[in-house]
Amino acid sequence: MLRQKKAFSTPFVVTIVVVLIVFTTIAIPNILAHRFEWASVPLAVRVHVSDQRSGAPVVGATVQVSSSFEDVSGPDGRCQAIALFQQTGTH
């Protein structure tokens, strides 16, 4: 007497196919090299430093951005720090 092979059920096959498609759409872009890469992209951060209780501007506060650039707030409590960030992507 010959044994028949048990076929996989349709929901099982559909589940496996969906998992493979999701894995492929997530994994392939992360495995491939970036299509562009810039060494530095400036980003200006404008900050208004004020006292939490009174709301008065804090003069002379040191604002640090990305651990690479510092600026000190002026008489109105405002300062602008420009930091450079590496930018990569796929488009």
Residue extents of the structural domains in the chain: 36-89
pTM listed for this prediction: 0.39
Tokens of 46: 């404008």
Q: Is pLDDT larger for residue 33 or for residue 54? A: 54
User: What pLDDT is attached to residue 64?
Assistant: 74
Residue 55 has pLDDT above 60, yes or no: yes
Tell the burial category of 73 from Cβ atoms under 10 Å away from its Cβ (0-12, 13-18, 19+): buried
C-alpha to C-alpha distance for 55 and 39, rounded to whole angstroms: 39
Q: Is pLDDT larger for residue 87 or for residue 19? A: 19
Q: Is pLDDT larger for residue 87 or for residue 58? A: 58
Give the model's confidence band at 89: pLDDT under 50 very low, under 70 low, under 90 confident, else very high: low
67: left (phi over 0), alpha (psi -120 to 50) or beta: left
Strand partners, 83: 43
